[in-house]
Chains A and B, each alone.
Chain A
Amino acid sequence: MSAQTRQMLLSLLVALAIVAIAIAVVTAQFGPTSAAELEAREDRLRERQELQEQRLEQREELREERQER
Chain B
Amino acid sequence: MVTGDLVARTQQVEGLVEDLTRGNVTEVKVVLASVVLALACYQLVLIAVGYGKLRPSFLESGPASKAHRAAGDTILVLVVIVALMCISYFEVEDDEALHVASAIGLLVALALKVAVLRFFHGLGRFLPYLGMAVFALLAVTWLTSAGSFLADS
Is B one of A's binding partners?
Answer: yes
How distant is B52 from chain A, measured CB to nearest CB, in Å?
A: 15
Whether B63 pairs with A7 at a CB distance below 8 angstroms is yes
B124 contacts the other chain (CB 8 A): no
Given contacts A7-B59, A11-B67, contact A19 B24 (CB under 8 A): no
Whether B150 pairs with A36 at a CB distance below 8 angstroms is no
B85 contacts the other chain (CB 8 A): no
B23 contacts the other chain (CB 8 A): yes
Q: For the complex, what is the distance from the CA of A25 to the CA of B42, rounded to whole Å?
A: 16
How distant is B75 from chain A, measured CB to nearest CB, in Å?
A: 10
Given contacts A15-B42, A19-B35, contact A7 B58 (CB under 8 A): yes
Given contacts A26-B31, A36-B23, contact A18 B62 (CB under 8 A): no
Pick the residue among A10, A21, A34 that contacts B38 (CB under 8 A): A21
A4: chain B residues at CB < 8 Å are: 60, 62-63
How distant is B153 from chain A, measured CB to nearest CB, in Å?
A: 6
Q: For the complex, what is the distance from the CA of A36 to the CA of B24, rounded to whole Å?
A: 8
B86 contacts the other chain (CB 8 A): no
Which size class do B's interface residues fall under? 20 to 34
Whether B34 pairs with A22 at a CB distance below 8 angstroms is yes
Whether A35 pairs with B24 at a CB distance below 8 angstroms is yes
CB closest chain-B residue, reference A3: B60
Whether B31 pairs with A23 at a CB distance below 8 angstroms is yes
Pick the residue among B23, B30, B59 that contacts A26 (CB under 8 A): B30
Can you offer 24 A-B residue contacts whose CB atoms are under 8 A?
A: A3-B60, A5-B63, A7-B63, A8-B63, A11-B46, A11-B59, A11-B63, A12-B67, A14-B42, A15-B70, A15-B71, A18-B38, A18-B39, A19-B35, A21-B38, A22-B31, A22-B37, A22-B38, A25-B34, A26-B35, A27-B31, A31-B153, A35-B22, A36-B22
